[in-house]
C-alpha cells in the first residue's frame, strides 16, 4: 500500500516553528549577541502569524486540525512569544543568565502549545503538552544559581509529571471504552453505543478535568503555581501565566466540547465546583500576599476560574468569550509583569509589594501604566479586562448559570482589594528611597503594545470579539 504524502499546508506554521527553534539552537553557538536570537524569534512569530491565514485544513489522518479555533489560540501564543521576548533581554543581563538556549526553549514551548491547540487526537495533544511542559520546566529553573528558581522547576516538574500521568490514565480508559483516541470518533462512539451512562466515562472525564486543571492552574490543582511563578525568571513567569494557560484552555475546550459534547451535563457537574473553588482560592489567597509575583500567581489562578465559566456555559458564545478573555488577559498580564521586571535592578529584587510605595512620585509613567493594568485586571471599564469579563458573564447567564455569575462578580469585587493595593501604594504612599528603573527599548515597546491593546480593546471591543466568534464557528 503506497503511503501518500500528507498535506502539509495545515501544519506549515508548526513546521516553520520547528525549523526556527532548531536553527536557533545551532545559531546560538556562533552568535555572540543573544538579542539577535530574540529578534529572530519575533521575525519567525510574524512569519507564522502570516502562515496561519492560509492554513485551514485537516491532515495526518485527522490527527491534526487547523481551524479558526486553533488559529485564534496560535495568535495568542505568538503575542505571548513576542511580548516575552521583548521583556526578556535586560532581565537576563541583570540576572547574568543571558544564554542563547533561552530563546530556543521558548520557541519549543510555543511549538508545544501550537500542537495542543491543533490536536484532534489525544496522542497529538499529549505530544504537544509534553513538549510545552518540558521546555517550560527548564525555563523555570533557568537561574541555575538561585535556590528558588531550582525549587520552582522541581515543583513544576513533579506536579506536571503527575498531571501527565493522570492524563495518560484518562486516555487509556477512554481508549479502552471506545477503541480510539480521535476526538471526533470518541464522540461518535459515545452517542452510537449509548456510553453516556457508563460510569467509566465519567471517571475518565474526571481524569481529563484534573489533568487540564493542573495546566490552567485551577484549584485544587494550583499548588505548583505560586512557587513556580515566584521562583522562575520573571519574563518566564509572564510567559507561563499566559501560554500554558491558554493552551490548557484550548485543549479543555476541544476535548470536552468535541469528544464529550454529548454528555455536557455530566462534565459541567465536575467543572462547576472547580470553577467556584478556583475563584475563591485565587482571590482570597491573593489578598494576603506580600510578593508581587505570588500575588499575580494567585490572580492568574482567579482568572482561570472566571474563564471556566465560559467552558461551563458550553455554548459558542461561551467558548468565544473564553477566547476573547484569553486574548485580553495576555496583554494585561504581561503588561503588569513588564513593570515588575522594570523594578528589578542589580542587587534589588523589587518583588515585594511594598517596593511599589511612591512609584507615582519617582516614576510617574511606570506607575500610570501599572494603574491601567491593575484596573484592567480588576475589570473596571473602560479597560479591556472589563469587556472580557462582561462577555464571559453574558454567556454564562444566557446558558442559565446566573447564580454562578453572581458568585463570580462578588469574587471579582474582592479582587479589587489586592489590585487596588498596588495602586494605593504607588499613588498614596511616600517612596522609601530612590527606586531605580531598569528600562530598555524592548520593554518600552512591550509596554506600548500592551497598554494600547488594553485601552483600545476596552473602548472598541467589537473587532476582537468578532474574530473570537468566527473562530468558534468551525466547531
Asked if 53 interacts with another protein (CB under 8 A), we say: no
CA distance from start to end of the chain: 33
Cα 252 to chain centroid distance, Å, stands at 12
Find the binder of another protein among 214, 229, 249, 386 (CB under 8 A).
386
Nearest distance from C-beta of residue 461 to another protein, angstroms: 6
The DSSP bridge partners found for residue 291 are 352
Diameter over CA atoms, the chain? 77
Based on the shown chain and the rule CB under 8 A, indicate whether residue 382 belongs to the binding site for another protein.
yes
418 touches another protein (CB under 8 A): no
| 237/412 with CB nearer another protein | 412
- Single out the residue of 168, 424, 437, 445 in contact with another protein (rule: CB under 8 A): 424
Q: Which of 15, 26, 200, 413 binds another protein (CB under 8 A)?
A: 413
106: part of which helix (H) or strand (E)?
helix 101-118
* Residue 456 binds to another protein (criterion: CB under 8 A): no
Residue 184 or 361 with smaller CB distance to another protein:
361
467 binds another protein (CB under 8 A): no
d(CA 264, CA 315): 11
Report the nearest approach of another protein to the CB of residue 426 (Å): 10
Find the part of the chain contacting another protein (CB under 8 A) among 249-257, 274-282, 323-331, 396-404: 396-404
| Structural contact between residues 320 and 70, judged by C-beta atoms closer than 8 angstroms | no
Of residues 322-361, those binding another protein (CB under 8 A) = 360-361
Q: How far apart are CA 435 and CA 457, in angstroms?
A: 32
C-alpha of 25 from chain center: 24
For residue 249, the minimal CB distance to another protein (Å) is 21
Q: Are 295 and 325 in contact (CB under 8 A)?
A: no
DSSP 212-280: HHHHHT-TTS-THHHHHHHHS-HHHHHHHHHHHHHHHHHHHHHIIIIISGGGHHHHHHHHHHHHHHHHH
Alpha-carbon span 146 to 445, nearest angstrom: 29
Nearest approach in angstroms of CB 350 to another protein is: 22
Q: Strand, coil or helix: what is 327?
A: helix
Contact call for residues 286 and 359 (beta carbons, < 8 A)? no
State which of residues 287, 428, 432, 448 lies at the interface with another protein (CB under 8 A): 428
Choose the stretch contacting another protein; rule: CB under 8 A; options: 203-211, 242-250, 258-266, 373-381.
Answer: 373-381
* C-alpha to C-alpha distance for 262 and 266, rounded to whole angstroms: 9
Indicate which single residue of 427, 451, 454, 472 sits in contact with another protein (rule: CB under 8 A).
Answer: 427
Q: Can you tell me which of 398, 433, 441, 473 binds another protein, judged by CB under 8 A?
A: 398
Size of the site for another protein (CB under 8 A): 32
Summarize as ranges the residues that interact with another protein (CB under 8 A).
360-361, 364, 375, 380-382, 386, 390, 393-394, 397-398, 402, 405-406, 409-410, 412-413, 416-417, 420, 423-424, 427-428, 461-462, 465-466, 469
Amino acid at each position: 500500500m503506497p503511503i501518500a504524502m500528507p498535506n502539509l499546508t495545515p501544519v506549515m506554521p508548526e513546521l516553520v516553528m520547528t525549523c526556527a527553534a532548531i536553527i536557533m539552537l545551532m545559531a546560538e553557538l556562533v552568535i555572540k549577541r543573544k538579542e539577535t536570537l530574540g529578534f529572530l524569534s519575533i521575525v519567525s512569530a510574524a512569519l507564522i502569524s502570516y502562515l496561519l491565514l492560509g492554513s485551514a485544513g485537516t491532515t495526518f489522518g485527522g490527527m491534526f486540525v487547523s481551524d479558526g479555533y486553533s488559529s485564534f489560540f496560535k495568535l495568542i501564543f505568538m503575542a505571548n512569544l513576542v511580548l516575552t521576548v521583548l521583556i526578556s533581554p535586560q532581565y537576563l543581563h541583570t540576572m547574568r543568565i543571558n544564554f542563547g538556549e533561552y530563546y530556543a526553549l521558548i520557541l519549543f514551548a510555543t511549538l508545544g502549545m501550537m500542537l495542543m491547540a491543533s490536536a484532534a487526537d489525544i496522542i497529538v495533544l499529549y505530544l504537544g503538552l509534553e513538549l510545552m511542559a518540558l521546555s517550560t520546566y527548564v525555563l523555570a529553573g533557568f537561574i541555575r544559581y538561585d535556590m528558588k528558581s531550582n525549587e520552582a522547576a522541581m515543583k513544576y516538574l513533579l506536579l506536571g509529571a503527575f498531571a501527565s500521568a493522570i492524563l495518560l490514565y484518562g486516555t487509556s480508559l477512554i481508549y479502552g471504552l471506545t477503541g480510539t483516541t480521535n476526538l471526533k470518533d470518541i464522540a461518535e462512539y459515545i452517542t452510537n453505543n449509548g456510553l453516556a451512562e457508563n460510569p467509566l466515562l465519567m471517571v475518565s472525564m474526571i481524569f481529563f478535568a484534573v489533568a487540564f486543571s493542573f495546566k490552567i492552574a485551577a484549584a485544587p490543582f494550583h499548588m505548583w503555581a505560586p512557587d513556580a511563578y515566584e521562583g522562575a525568571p520573571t519574563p518566564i513567569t509572564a510567559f507561563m501565566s499566559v501560554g500554558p494557560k491558554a493552551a490548557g484552555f484550548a485543549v479543555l475546550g476541544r476535548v470536552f466540547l468535541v469528544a464529550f459534547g454529548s454528555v455536557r451535563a455530566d462534565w459541567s457537574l465536575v467543572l462547576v465546583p472547580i470553577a467556584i473553588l478556583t475563584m475563591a482560592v485565587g482571590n482570597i489567597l491573593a489578598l494576603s500576599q506580600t510578593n508581587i509575583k505570588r500575588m499575580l500567581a494567585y490572580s492568574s489562578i482567579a482568572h482561570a476560574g472566571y474563564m471556566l465559566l465560559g467552558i461551563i456555559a458550553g455554548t459558542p458564545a461561551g467558548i468565544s468569550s473564553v477566547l476573547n478573555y484569553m486574548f485580553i488577559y495576555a496583554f494585561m498580564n504581561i503588561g503588569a509583569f513588564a513593570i515588575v521586571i522594570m523594578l528589578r535592578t542589580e542587587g534589588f529584587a523589587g518583588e515585594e509589594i511594598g517596593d511599589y510605595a511612591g512609584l507615582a512620585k519617582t516614576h510617574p509613567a511606570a506607575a500610570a501604566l501599572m494603574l491601567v493594568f491593575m484596573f484592567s485586571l480588576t475589570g473596571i471599564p473602560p479597560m479591556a479586562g472589563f469587556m472580557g469579563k462582561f462577555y464571559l458573564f453574558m454567556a454564562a447567564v444566557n446558558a442559565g448559570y446566573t447564580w454562578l455569575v453572581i458568585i463570580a462578580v462578588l469574587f471579582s469585587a474582592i479582587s479589587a482589594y489586592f489590585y487596588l493595593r498596588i495602586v494605593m501604594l504607588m499613588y498614596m504612599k511616600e517612596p522609601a528611597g530612590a527606586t531605580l528603573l531598569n528600562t530598555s527599548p524592548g520593554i518600552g515597546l512591550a509596554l506600548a503594545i500592551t497598554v494600547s491593546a488594553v485601552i483600545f480593546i476596552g473602548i472598541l471591543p467589537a473587532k476582537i470579539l468578532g474574530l473570537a466568534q468566527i473562530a468558534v464557528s468551525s466547531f
